[in-house]
Structure 1
């Protein structure tokens, strides 16, 4: 069986779940190189002292992050040089990895494949890196350019076996995300609508800055793991998804809702162009009537045929990448 290497940032423990799903599908030939495995160390006491001076005297709190990224980059380059050859190498979250690193990786495989979980307009520094890849997959149809080997591939849901326990429903609507100013206004407005309609909600935003709650919106500076996130998903009737204006790609939230048969509320109307869209399952903000929101949440979920649902599984996603 061909050897495969996956290179990625282990954001929210997703790489652990990818490993679990690969084991469930009997892929025993996959290795990982993770960005987050690199634990920062100062080169020497002078570098550490310089950081303390910059932070306390100059108020420069970003200098350590610059040092950390340089340390990770250098460590990854050295690891890349020592890698054996692989039949296929997959690179996720491409924006974390430099051109210098990718140029080394390119020499270690016959087939280098990228999969980007963001809009290219939000991460334009990815464009110069495309030259290293044989195929590059994006989740926004507007970014597709097959002449340049940029192909369309949605996000997915994990399809390893789980305990079949009936979760206790704690909230009508659940939303988790990172604080982004451009969509915070929309979130506050919609949260107020939920409150007015007496629809219970759990809203959690990650922010490095300490912030007090605003209405039903709570803030945290602690990352939730993907498993913790799924605990809230399972215990909610509906999920809320708010898109960024720079892209129309469907977030992981759509596929989590598909897997767990949860209602979804979104401001991304492009979902109507997907075969799993059902008006009874997906409420589009700005198009569907707010008067029907309570009924939308309470009405039964419309089951999606297995042949459609399975197209968006991890298994299908992974086979596309390595084919």
Structure 2
């Protein structure tokens, strides 16, 4: 089998989940190179003392982050030089990796493929890196430019085997996300509407900064594990999704909802252009009548045909990238 290397950041344990799914599908020809895999180490005691001095007397709290970034870059570069040849190398979220690093990776394969889980406009530093890739896949149709080898590919749901238990439904609506100022006002408005309609909700927002809970919105500074997240998904009738203004790509939440047969409430109208869209399953904020929200949550989910559903599995996503 062709040897494949995946280069990515293990954000929220995503790389571990990809490994698990590959093992489930009996792919034993895939290696990983992860961003920031090694814990940061000072070069010497002088560097450590210098950081202490700058932080204590100069108020420079970013110096260590600069050292850490340099450490990561040097570590990745050393590993890149030692790599053998691969049939295909996949780079996820290229914005984490420097052009110098990618130029080395380019020499290690005849097929360098990128996949981006964000809008290109939100990560403009990616544009200068596109020249290294034979193919680059994006999840926002507006970013597609096939003449320049930029192709469309949605996100996916993991299709490894899971426990078949069906937990008790505890919430009507579940939302988890990272605190983003532009989305917070919209989230508060939606939460208020849910409360007014006596629709129970579980809303979790991640923030490094300590923030007080706001109504039904709860803040946390701890990443939920995949299993914890899925437990909340399974024990809810519907999921909530809020888009960012810079892109129209569909988040992983759409595909989790499809996998677990959950309703979805979203402010992304572009979902109507996908073959899995059903008005019985997906409520579009700003287009659907808010008075119908309670009925939407309570009415039964309309199952999606398996041939459509399977198009959005991890297995199909991975085969598209490596074919």
Given the two structures, how large is their TM-score scaled by the length of structure 1?
Answer: 0.98
Structure 1 residue 165, shift from structure 2 partner? 0.8
- 1:94-152 superposed Cα distances (whole Å, 9 cap, x missing partner): 11110011111111111000000000000000001001000000000000000110000
Partner SS state of residue 111, structure 2: strand
- Give the aligned partner of residue 128 of structure 1: 128
- Give the aligned partner of residue 249 of structure 1: 249
Task: Decide which moves more: 136-145 or 67-76.
Answer: 67-76
- Give the aligned partner of residue 215 of structure 1: 215
- 1:190-249 superposed Cα distances (whole Å, 9 cap, x missing partner): 111111111111111111110110111111111122222112111111110000000000
Structure 1 residue 189, shift from structure 2 partner? 0.7
Partners of 1:224 and 1:31 lie apart in 2 by 26
Task: Decide which moves more: 32-41 or 301-310.
Answer: 32-41
Partners of 1:197 and 1:57 lie apart in 2 by 54
The root-mean-square deviation of aligned C-alpha atoms, in Å, is: 0.9
**Does 2:194 correspond to 1:198?**
no
**Does 2:57 correspond to 1:36?**
no
Task: Decide which moves more: 10-19 or 122-131.
Answer: 10-19
Structure 2: unaligned runs, 5 residues or longer: none
- Give the aligned partner of residue 85 of structure 1: 85
Partners of 2:307 and 2:121 lie apart in 1 by 33
Q: How many residues align?
A: 323
**Does 2:211 correspond to 1:224?**
no
Partners of 1:308 and 1:235 lie apart in 2 by 24
> Runs of at least 4 residues of structure 1 off by over 4 A?
none
Partner SS state of residue 122, structure 2: coil
After the TM superposition, which residues 270-309 of structure 1 pair with which residues of structure 2 at under 5 Å, given as runs? 270-309=270-309
Partners of 2:9 and 2:230 lie apart in 1 by 19
After the TM superposition, which residues 7-46 of structure 1 pair with which residues of structure 2 at under 5 Å, given as runs? 7-46=7-46
Partner SS state of residue 254, structure 1: helix
Partners of 1:126 and 1:297 lie apart in 2 by 39
Partner SS state of residue 37, structure 1: coil
Partner SS state of residue 168, structure 2: coil
Partners of 2:220 and 2:61 lie apart in 1 by 20
Partners of 2:166 and 2:202 lie apart in 1 by 20
- 1:151-171 superposed Cα distances (whole Å, 9 cap, x missing partner): 000000001111111122111
Given the two structures, how large is their TM-score scaled by the length of structure 2?
Answer: 0.98
Partners of 1:262 and 1:57 lie apart in 2 by 54
- Give the aligned partner of residue 53 of structure 1: 53
Task: Decide which moves more: 52-61 or 236-245.
Answer: 52-61
Partners of 1:259 and 1:36 lie apart in 2 by 31
Partner SS state of residue 32, structure 1: strand
Structure 1 residue 54, shift from structure 2 partner? 2.6
Partners of 2:92 and 2:38 lie apart in 1 by 17
Partners of 1:216 and 1:42 lie apart in 2 by 43
- Give the aligned partner of residue 321 of structure 1: 321
Structure 1 residue 20, shift from structure 2 partner? 1.1
